[in-house]
Amino acid sequence: MEQLDLFDLLDVQAPEFICDTCLFDINGCCSFSKPGGRYCTLGDSKIDINTPVDQMPRITAKRIADYIGKKLKIDFHEKYRGDGRLTGKTKNNTVDIYLDQYPEDVFNGEKFIGVCIDRRDKLGGFGCGCSTVKEVIDLIQKKEADNEIR
């Protein structure tokens, strides 16, 4: 027998926990801390993974890669020292992540997360710009699943 909760009776989805879509939330644990003992308290320092990167002026490619790496179990490291491009390997692909900006006449010059995914068997590759961290995660998972099918 399955137990019912209040949201089953109200026919409304249970509310999402505020930290579930935060860039600092890694498997239910908050990784946010600043020097001097400042910590996040119930989302007061939340950076949402659905927020466009153009609206996050101080975000770095390393912070994004750390989050994605912990979430998808990918070990990212700098490709070439100091170039801001991070690379990691999945079972089937090599993934590069970096921050860049469109020219002024394309999408009003907004910032984006550049993602390059190359198949490890050297039979293809793919690259695009994503506006949110969530898009990058979905893209990596989709390309990994596509290569599993083949």
Question: pLDDT tens digits, residue range 101-126?
Answer: 888 888 888 899 999 998 888 788 88
State the Cα–Cα distance between residues 78 and 62, nearest whole angstrom. 9
What is the CB-side half-sphere exposure of residue 29 using CA atoms within 13 A? Answer: 5
Confidence (pLDDT) at 21 = 73
Given a cut of 60, whether residue 11 has pLDDT beyond it is no
- Three-state DSSP at 113 gives strand
pTM (2 decimals)?
A: 0.72
pLDDT digits (tens, 9 = 90+) for 18-45: 677 777 776 666 666 665 666 676 666 6
Distance CA 8, CA 103 (A): 49
